[in-house]
Amino acid sequence: MIKKSSLLIAIISCICVTGLTQGEQKNSPRFSVLAIYENGGHHILFSQRAKIWLDKLAADSNFSIEYITGTKNITDSFLDKFQVFLQLDYAPYGWTDTAVLSFEKYLSDEKHGWLGFHHASLLGEFDGYPMWQWFSNFMGGIRWKDYIASFASAKVNVEDASHPCMKGVPSSFIIKKDEWYTYDKSPRSNVHVIASVDESSYTPPSSIKMGDHPVIWTNEKFAARNIYIFMGHSPDLFDNIAYTTLFKNAIFWAAHR
């Protein structure tokens, strides 16, 4: 016959174990993000500020984030650990052959998501590397052409306010400092444009223009949720509530959350 004291201890132990398990489940990350960035160059200040902001967001929102500064470790099995691939100012050239194939495969799976910023559209022949044609097609068939090296402030106009990434983002907002890349053509015919820059608002004025100038878009021909956000040069962007709202929304949208 089991004594009452022994039975009580057993019940308490069971409750404690059950509570621990539930607590562990509650604290497990909701999803995992991989962020790649260039550990040097003139975009490093943006990436450093982004890491501070992302680490806080991950802690507050209960997701995990891992950072890499090169593509040598990118394989199918490595990428499978992450629901979102975040390309922070990392150019689409100089990747290992294995990383190229794994990334292309990653974007073919609807379970995955991708966010690309600024340097991710630097498409062409750079530093002795050929253009990654698949990535150009992914970005809407574009090739990098020019940029405002002296920087300019400009107004961004939202074209698709109904897109989940634009929730809480005003219909237009000012970006105080960026390089404003131009391409050999607008990607509009091959992608879904979410926002564009008003080139007449450049301050100071610039002759480096492309007419129809999308700066935020998604390519719905690819299975993985994806969004490209051109703005990503200055660390001051993280003082812009419209930008941080867009960034946060994009992470959770890409993660299917």
Q: What is the dihedral of CA 246, 219, 216, 106, to 10 degrees?
A: 50
Q: What are the residue ranges spanned by the domains of the chain? A: 30-254
Residue with tokens 């073919």: 108
Between 38 and 187, residue with greater pLDDT: 187
pLDDT tens-digit readout, 150-205 = 999 999 999 999 999 999 999 999 999 999 999 999 999 999 999 999 999 999 99
Looking at the domain 30-254, which fold is it? Rossmann fold (3.40.50)
pTM attached to this predicted model: 0.89
Taking residue 223's Cβ as centre, other Cβ atoms within 10 Å add up to 13
Phi-psi region at 94: left, alpha or beta (left = phi > 0; alpha = psi -120 to 50): left
